[in-house]
A and B are shown apart, each in its own frame.
Chain A
Amino acid sequence: MQRATLDLWVGLFVVAGIVAVLFLALKVGNLGGYDNGATYVVKASFDNIGGLKPRAPVKSAGVVVGRVADIGFDPKSYEALVTLSLSARYSFPQDSSAAIMTSGLLGEQYIALEAGGDEKMLANGDVLKITQGAVVLENLIGQFLYNKNDSQTEQAAP
């Protein structure tokens, strides 16, 4: 085969391959989203993170603004230490609060970030003070049954 034809085919092949990678990165993956921008890191402690996993989304008002970068355990306070990496495009007041939520009844868990009213904004390395851990289904059911028993005994008492 002629060298020029060969080069043309190989060129087309390489371009097609790169287009495929770009398609996967931008259309299938999340590279088109926040990830390509700069990020800053904030930390938050939770009494219980439930089934939260690294890379879980951080949402504010339902919009993905960052991801869980790391999950650790603080041996002094016996709490979970979660590192969030937030897109530099969004800034939040310093007294913002974080809560671990579940999308749907059985869906994946994410961190909901609720903006506060402080004038100072969160900076890299700051710690979120107001947090709410995951709601554990077993505790919830236990509580529910306990309350039900309570109200039954109350009704039976008089």
Chain B
Amino acid sequence: MMQALIGYIRGIGRRTVDRVWRMGVAARFFLLVLLHSGTSFRRFHLIIREIFTAGVLSLIIILVSGLFVGMVLGLQGYETLQTYGAEESLGVLVSLSLVRELGPVVAALLFASRAGSAITAEIGLMKATEQIAAMEMMAVDPIARVVAPRFWGAVISMPLLAALFSAMGVLGGYLVGVVLIGVDAGSFWSQMQAAVDFKEDIINGVIKSVVFGIAVTIIALFEGYDAPPTAEGVSRATTRTVVTSSLAILGLDFILTAFMFRGV
């Protein structure tokens, strides 16, 4: 009995140490990526290529999801606001929810599962097929040549995708609220403009999406780079990327929201 308890506690301890150790390795990896970013900026087409794979290829899912989230917000918001006779505030509800929270968060979650998993799988496979080792043998640093361009490509793409998501969402809310249900278009926009502040809401939303972009990308890159070079290892790493980065997004969102909108 006592033995089992001690074993259990020891298990917890070992797992905690492992996690902390892994986080330390990931942090060092992050620093390494930043240190080796020079090459990617001197040869910007490397980043452009990655903006294409991370950003352009995620466009469809981001735009469609944004539109539908906005439409649902319009529909649900109208139902609730109507009870208080405040359906003119629909624009406020839709835009603030999107710009402050849903835009950055949902776009980042979608990005993690669309682009993050692809990054992990690609780098994991490059490692499994010895492409990373081959690059090292050719005196080319894989962190500078493979990892850093992907990092910057994704970090640049993320805020753009989040902004597109929010913009599509507002349009979706407009479609349902104004065009379909018939809320007054003038008060929809004017109340929205009176309530949404550029610095407090929009810039903060962009800052959030940049932070999420960094978190998702570094997790995806690290998991890929750290994956055991086997089929099973890569598939596990891909799953871990999606799970870890989703949790990281939600956790970071709470922290950032607490800092940004405290007392407002």
Q: Could you tell me which A residues sit within 8 Å of B by CB distance?
A: 1, 3, 6-7, 9-10, 12-14, 16-21, 23-25, 27-33, 35, 53-55, 57, 64
Contact = CB atoms under 8 A, between A and B. Distances in A.
Contacts of B159: 17
Main secondary structure of the interface of A (DSSP, over half): helix
Contacts of A55: 197, 200, 264
Contacts of B189: 27
Interface stretch (B48-56, B176-184, B219-227, B250-258): B48-56
B170 interface: yes
Interface of B: 45, 48-49, 51-52, 55-56, 59, 95, 99, 157, 159-161, 163-164, 166-168, 170, 189, 192-194, 196-198, 200-202, 205-206, 263-264
B122 to A, nearest CB: 16
B196 A29 contact: yes
B51 A29 contact: no
Contact of A23 (B59, B167, B194, B264): B167
Given A13-B160, A17-B161, A24 B166 contact: yes
Contacts of A25: 198, 202
Contacts of B59: 13, 16
Contacts of A21: 160, 163, 202, 206
Contacts of B52: 1, 6, 9-10, 13
A28 B93 CA distance: 12
A24 B206 CA distance: 11
Given A17-B161, A30-B197, A33-B193, 9 more contacts: A16-B160, A20-B166, A24-B166, A25-B198, A27-B189, A28-B196, A29-B196, A29-B198, A35-B198
